Chains A and B, each alone.
Chain A
Amino acid sequence: NAGVTQTPKFQVLKTGQSMTLQCAQDMNHEYMSWYRQDPGMGLRLIHYSVGAGITDQGEVPNGYNVSRSTTEDFPLRLLSAAPSQTSVYFCASSGRSYGYTFGSGTRLTVV
């Protein structure tokens, strides 16, 4: 049981480049979320989804885009990378009444 798988684990981008952070879960969970973790700021919600075809914004959605075409996958797109998006990104999933399972994270540096 792989749980929540995030790729890549590390990434360096130049300002203005775009990229997609991948997230996949094999637990048939309804809920999936993306968080970013920054020193002194804690974990903040970027976008979340309560099921395939349904997404909503979290606390810090600007500069990010998501879609949920299948139950398993919830990719996060950076449209035009900025140094302020340097962070560690975590994907998480949860079934109804169950707690959250987190991926191992993607460490992104924007130069």
Chain B
Amino acid sequence: KQEVTQIPAALSVPEGENLVLNCSFTDSAIYNLQWFRQDPGKGLTSLLLIQSSQREQTSGRLNASLDKSSGRSTLYIAASQPGDSATYLCAVGAEGGSQGNLIFGKGTKLSVKP
């Protein structure tokens, strides 16, 4: 059974710092991996999607990498800002027909202090 783990569970950094959020998964047979952001009381906003054949994706100050063989993904946030404060969720999509099955980690709660 696929399991997704995110470390750390919470992170507090000063504004301007570069930071890395980690995601690991137990089964390397994934279809894709997606990073989401969730603000308190709100829905999920997609940040980056990495297909299983890709190694990384970039969007603005965000860069996500994927290493299927080791079962790891990282989300790099450059020059963090207070507006980046949110919970970041990693989710893996299953390979094959059950592509409706996203398995989520429990998230990393990020706080960026001014």
Chain A residues proximal to chain B, CB less than 8 Å:
31-33, 35, 40-45, 48-50, 56, 58, 90, 92, 94, 96-105
Contacts and interface: CB of A to CB of B under 8 A. Distances in A.
B44 A56 contact: no
- Report the 7 A-B pairs with minimum CB-CB distance, sorted nearest first: A48-B100, A99-B49, A102-B44, A43-B104, A104-B43, A42-B106, A99-B34
Given A35-B102, A48-B100, A58-B101, 20 more contacts: A31-B99, A31-B100, A33-B101, A42-B104, A42-B106, A42-B107, A45-B100, A45-B103, A48-B98, A48-B101, A56-B98, A56-B100, A90-B44, A94-B100, A97-B51, A98-B49, A100-B34, A100-B91, A101-B46, A104-B42
A90 to B, nearest CB: 6
Interface in B5-62: 32, 34, 36, 42-46, 49, 51
- The size class of the interface chain B forms with chain A is 20 to 34
A90 B102 CA distance: 12
Interface of B: 32, 34, 36, 42-46, 49, 51, 89, 91, 93, 97-107
Most buried by A among B49, B98, B100: B100
Nearest to A33: B100
Contacts of A103: 43
Contact of A90 (B32, B43, B46, B107): B43
B7 to A, nearest CB: 14
B101 to A, nearest CB: 6
Scoring A40, A43, A49, A94 by chain B CB atoms within 10 A of each residue's CB, the highest score goes to A43
